[in-house]
């Protein structure tokens, strides 16, 4: 086996490793969450103080957010397109 082929295999393994690690359950700190959601820090504080967004306070001070829960929170705010709405009506009429 030549060295180029070995390097290609190592590069592919590294690439797969990055994908696996990025899909692992991740906790974000306050600043990371603000950047991830593209929200201002004051607005994110408002969401946490009103308990409108899921968060953790394991030490009683530092806020942490579970990335998978943030994604579900985002998806709860989905508004269907007109086509999706029409399809839902059409499919409910068929049943």
- The pLDDT assigned to 22 comes to 64
Strand, helix or coil at 24? coil
Whether the Cβ atoms of residue 39 and residue 70 lie closer than 8 Å to each other: no
Number of domains forming the structure of the chain? 1
- CATH number of the domain residue 55 falls in: 1.10.10
pLDDT score of 29: 95
Residue 20 has a pLDDT of 64
Q: How many CB atoms lie within 10 A of CB 80?
A: 10
Whether 10 is in a domain gets the answer no
Residue 69, in any domain of the structure: yes
CA–CA dist 75, 69 (Å, integer): 10
pLDDT under 50: residue ranges of the chain: none
The whole domain housing 54 covers: 25-74
pLDDT at 19: 66
Residue 26: the pLDDT is: 86
């Amino acid at each position: 086996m030549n060295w180029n082929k070995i390097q290609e295999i190592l590069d592919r393994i590294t690439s797969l490793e990055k994908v696996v690690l990025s899909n692992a359950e991740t906790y974000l700190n306050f600043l990371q969450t603000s950047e991830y959601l593209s929200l201002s820090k004051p607005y994110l504080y408002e969401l946490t103080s009103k308990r409108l967004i899921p968060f953790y306070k394991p030490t009683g001070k530092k806020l942490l957010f579970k990335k998978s829960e943030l994604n579900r929170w985002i998806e709860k705010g989905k508004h269907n397109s007109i086509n999706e709405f029409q399809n839902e009506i059409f499919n409910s009429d068929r049943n």
